């Protein structure tokens, strides 16, 4: 991306400056501000929160196209997927998600408290000691099984409104909880199925566009996705309550089936078990064939 992005250094919070939204307002069309995004690189406004990088419309569009294409080529580039999510979240979608949080009493509490999910904020040994079918235990078992840690989430940079930036950050950090809730594994097939579910539930464009990564799956995986997991994702994503409004820190000791029932989510067929069975079937056939 040949666009020079000037990183602002040391401007912490700027508490005195009110947060900006991107709603159209004719009266202030002449000022260079994130509100109208008409500014050029030399006249970039100061950041709204630590790590904020204000981009104008052209830069955001370029970032969206570039990161979208490159993350399709290499889906393990989490940073590109994160940038793609932020560049495509405005104008409408992140505000819709913010409204969904503000409409729910729990969502409002999350926005007030602004909890973060990191390996330091969650007490991992405590989670391991929880009873087997609790949310917390399922989560830590899934983390251990897939070999991931809660710290692998990038900080939000390209969303201008500070509260919307938190909403995106919260979505990103809860992604692993969604894996634990649904039981889908980290492999490409599982990620694509979970993204389809997230799109039906949160309506973030990145999640919807990630479903096109199904084109890069192997043929039997694609068939399984289209036949089983995509219908499951759409059906459950639409009928479930907004998963962004789940206060995970308070639900750690809840029974995971009870949480699924409360949210309206049914567990899909266990993908790891299916893949393992298929692998063993292939190995058996190969062994028989060889003999």
Partner 1 sequence: MDSIIRRRTAAYVCRSCIQRTRNHIQQRAYSRAAQPDIYDVVCVGGGPAGLSLLTALRANPVTSHFRIALVEAQDLSKMQSWKLPPDRFSNRCSSLTPSSALFLDKIGAWDHLARDRVQPYHEMQVWDGVSDARIEFDWAPDAAPSADTTIAYMTENLNLTSGLLKRLAQLGGVSVFDSARVEKISLGEQTEAQDLREWPVVNLAGGRQLFARLLVGADGADSPVRSFAGIEARGWDYGRHGVVATLELQGEGWGGDQMKTAYQRFLPTGPVAMLPLPGNYSTLVWSTTPENASLLKRLPTKDFVALVNAAFRLRPTDLEFMHTQSKGQAEEYSWRMEHTPSHGKLIPQVVTGVQEGTIASFPLKMRHADTYIGERVALVGDAAHTIHPLAGQGLNQGQGDVQSLAKIIEYAVNHGQDIGARLSLEPYLAERYATNHVLMGVCDKLHKLYSVGSGPLVPLRSLGLNAVNVLGPLKKFVMSQAAGHGIKVF
Interface ranges with partner 1 (CB under 8 A): 18-21, 23-27, 35, 99, 102-103, 105, 108, 112, 162-163
Which CB atom, from 108 or from 284, has the smaller least distance to partner 1? 108
Q: For residue 3, what are the CA distances in angstroms to 57, 63, 182?
A: 12, 9, 39
Distance (Å, rounded) from C-alpha 246 to C-alpha 104? 10
Residue list, annotated binding site for Zn(2+): 175-176, 179, 191
Output 7 or 23, the one with its CB closest to partner 1.
23
Alpha-carbon distances, residue 244 vs 94, 196, 251 (angstroms) = 12, 15, 13
State which H helix or E strand residue 22 sits in. Answer: none
Q: Give the SS3 label for residue 192.
A: helix
CB of 127 to partner 1, least distance (A): 31
Nearest approach in angstroms of CB 57 to partner 1 is 18
Least distance from partner 1 to the Cβ atom of residue 100, Å:
9
Smallest separation, CB 253 to partner 1 (Å):
28
Residue 74 tokens read as: 């290499």
**Closest distance to partner 1 from the beta carbon of 12 (Å):** 17
- Binding-site residue numbers are 175-176, 179, 191
**Smallest separation (angstroms) from partner 1 to the CB of 108:** 7
If the CB atoms of residues 19 and 211 are measured against partner 1, the closer one turns out to be 19
* Of 189, 249, 253, nearest in space to 215 by CA: 189
Closest distance to partner 1 from the beta carbon of 203 (Å): 13
Q: Which is nearer to partner 1, 2 or 105 (CB)?
A: 105
Q: Is 194 left (phi over 0), alpha (psi -120 to 50) or beta?
A: alpha
| C-alpha span between 38 and 58 (Å, rounded) | 9
Which DSSP category does 8 fall into? P
User: 3-class SS at 154?
Assistant: coil
CA 56 to chain centre: 23
Q: Which is nearer to partner 1, 7 or 112 (CB)?
A: 112
- In the bound state with partner 1, the residue whose beta carbon lies nearer, of 100 and 192, is 100
Q: Is 24 or 289 the residue whose CB approaches partner 1 more closely?
A: 24
Asked whether 204 and 94 are in contact (CB, 8 A), the reply is yes
Residue closest to 160 by CA, chosen among 283, 68, 52: 52
- Of 98, 268, 108, the C-alpha closest to 178 is 268
- Residue 49: exposed, middle, or buried by beta-carbon count in 10 A (0-12, 13-18, 19+)? buried
């Amino acid at each position: 991306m040949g666009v020079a992005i000037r990183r602002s250094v040391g401007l912490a919070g700027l508490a005195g400056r009110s947060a900006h939204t991107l709603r159209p307002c004719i009266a202030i069309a002449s000022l260079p501000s994130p509100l109208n995004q008409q500014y050029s690189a030399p006249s970039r406004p100061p950041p709204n929160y630590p790590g904020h990088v204000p981009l104008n419309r052209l830069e955001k569009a370029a970032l969206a196209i570039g990161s979208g294409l490159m993350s399709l080529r290499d889906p393990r580039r989490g940073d590109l997927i994160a940038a793609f999510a932020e560049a495509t979240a405005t104008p409408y979608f992140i505000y819709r998600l913010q409204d969904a949080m503000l409409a729910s009493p729990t969502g409002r509490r999350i926005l007030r408290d602004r909890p973060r999910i990191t390996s330091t904020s969650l007490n991992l040994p405590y989670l391991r000691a929880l009873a087997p079918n609790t949310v917390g235990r399922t989560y830590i078992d899934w983390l251990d099984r897939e070999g991931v840690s809660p710290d692998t989430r990038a900080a939000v940079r390209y969303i201008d409104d500070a509260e919307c930036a938190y909403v995106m950050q919260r979505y990103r950090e809860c992604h692993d909880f969604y894996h634990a809730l649904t039981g889908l594994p980290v492999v490409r097939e599982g990620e694509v199925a979970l993204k389809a579910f997230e799109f039906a539930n949160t309506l973030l464009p990145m999640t919807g566009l990630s479903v096109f990564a199904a084109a890069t799956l192997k043929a039997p995986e694609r068939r399984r996705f289209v036949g089983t997991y995509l219908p499951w994702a759409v059906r459950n994503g639409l009928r479930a309550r907004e998963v962004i409004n789940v206060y995970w820190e308070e639900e750690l000791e809840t029974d995971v089936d009870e949480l699924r029932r409360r949210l309206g989510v049914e567990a899909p067929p266990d993908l790891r078990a299916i893949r393992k069975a298929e692998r063993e079937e292939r190995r058996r056939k190969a062994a028989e064939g060889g003999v």
